[in-house]
Amino acid sequence: MNLQECYEAFGGSYEDVKTRLAKDTLIHRLVIKFLDDKTYESLLRAMENKDYGEAFRGAHTLKGLCQNLSFERLGKSASALTELLRNWESEPVDEVMCESLWRQVSEDYMSVVNAIKDLKE
């Protein structure tokens, strides 16, 4: 699998990241480095504990990573979760919607991780 095929596999935009980062070697290095990022694990713990403040920060961070790397599908689901949790201090969190959005983030995340692992091989 090459870099462009990897992006296609998880719903990313290779063309977008290529215009921003230019060199495939840099893109490849950053994409592989995504596997070492602990943001998802922090978000997972926060969601399990219903710590919505920490979950907001994790979803927001994940959204930013996705924007930088043009991981569009995962970025979209992380953004939706971020927006749902944005006012967690002042408004009750819709736990049913939160669980649904979290499932989508998890599914999209696993799609990215699996494609990157295939790229790495």
Is 39's pLDDT higher than 90?
yes
At residue 90, the pLDDT reads 93
Summarised one tens digit per residue, pLDDT across range 66-92 is 999 999 999 999 999 999 999 998 999
At residue 8, the pLDDT reads 97
Are 46 and 54 a contacting pair, CB within 8 Å? yes
The percentage of residues in the chain with a pLDDT greater than 70, rounded to a whole number, is 100
Q: Map out the domains of the chain with their CATH numbers.
A: 3-120 (1.20.120)
At residue 99, the pLDDT reads 97
Coil, strand or helix at 21: helix
Q: How far is CA 90 from the centre of its chain?
A: 26
64 burial level (CB within 10 Å; 0-12, 13-18, 19+): middle
At residue 121, the pLDDT reads 85
At residue 47, the pLDDT reads 97
Please state, in angstroms and as integers, the Cα–Cα distance from residue 2 to each residue in 25, 27, 46, 116, following that order. 12, 12, 34, 10
